Amino acid sequence: MSEQLSYLGVPLARPKVGFFELSSCEGCQLQLLNNEATLLDFLNLVEIVNFREGMSERADTYDIAFVEGSVTRKDEITRLTEIRRNAKILVALGSCACFGGVNQLKNRFRDLEWVKKEVYGDFPIETMEVHPLADFVQVDLSIFGCPIKKEEVERIVTDLVVGKTVRHPEYPVCMECKANENICLFELGEPCLGPVTRAGCDAWCPSNRRGCWGCRGPAETANLTELEKIMHTYGFDSETILDRLECFGGFASFADTLRPKNIAELSSLPAQTKLIPSGCKKVPARRKKP
């Protein structure tokens, strides 16, 4: 662990890194700790100085900050700003940090006070609309996925250490699915965002017979209009498409174009009745206790 690293005979410095979490399940950080087969090799690349989930020692002198989770409270803005100030490179780790993740589903109700009432009742809670990190600070690098793919993190960190340019695939998950010789899930009656989602996960979900939910966000050449045609061809309605597109936040702008009628309906509904994010069912008001 203390030996001098080198690459092609050139000495390399081990950057000091810190791992941090905002509003999240911390599953992306857990992915790194679960990487038992190559964990020691990974640790040999960097010097971890702050990682609450994996160690008790803490320091604020780090070169690279990996931040998991989305911003859902004002105090998290302050904390994120401080992390950004200390870091030379700030990495958005996972879908929540990149797009808002599953947390951002509450934004789709477009009525934060109603959401707070339905979830927490009369219990006072500080919360706001969900934001990705880039809404408040400069993000130098994004690592997509829910959770992240640990092999991808190793590759990216290695590139950072040796000074190589970090590149994400520009093609969609479908390319990896075909390379793995998978049967197209549309043929099996399963909706899938593989045609428009950024690759890099090695078709993780489709390879396990689960349709892609778009956790990595849109591919560079994503043709979302064509996706809608494909979905309808295989018998999936707009509600099903919205369920997928809205889940992680990466496709939020396109999802908005699919539900202008629902938005109009939402504004005219009484306060005790709202549409769920996909716009497919009404959620009744909470029944009061006798």
Q: In which element (H, E) is residue 273 found?
A: none
At 31-44, the pLDDT tens digits run: 988 878 888 888 88
Q: In which element (H, E) is residue 228 found?
A: helix 224-233
Q: Which two tokens stand for residue 214?
A: 């778009």
- Kindly report the length of the chain: 290
Q: How confident is the model at residue 89 (pLDDT cuts 50, 70, 90)?
A: very high
Question: What average pLDDT does range 86-104 have in this prediction?
Answer: 97
Mind listing the domains of the chain with CATH numbers? 5-162 (3.40.50.700), 173-263 (no CATH)
Helical H segments across 2-111, by residue range: 27-33, 39-45, 74-86, 95-99
The pLDDT of residue 6 = 65
Query: How far apart are the C-alpha atoms of 21 and 30, rounded to whole Å?
Result: 11
Q: Which two tokens stand for residue 86?
A: 């200390």
Q: Please, which residues bridge with residue 12 across strands?
A: 5
**What pTM does this model have?**
0.84
Question: What average pLDDT does range 92-117 have in this prediction?
Answer: 93
The pLDDT of residue 7 = 59
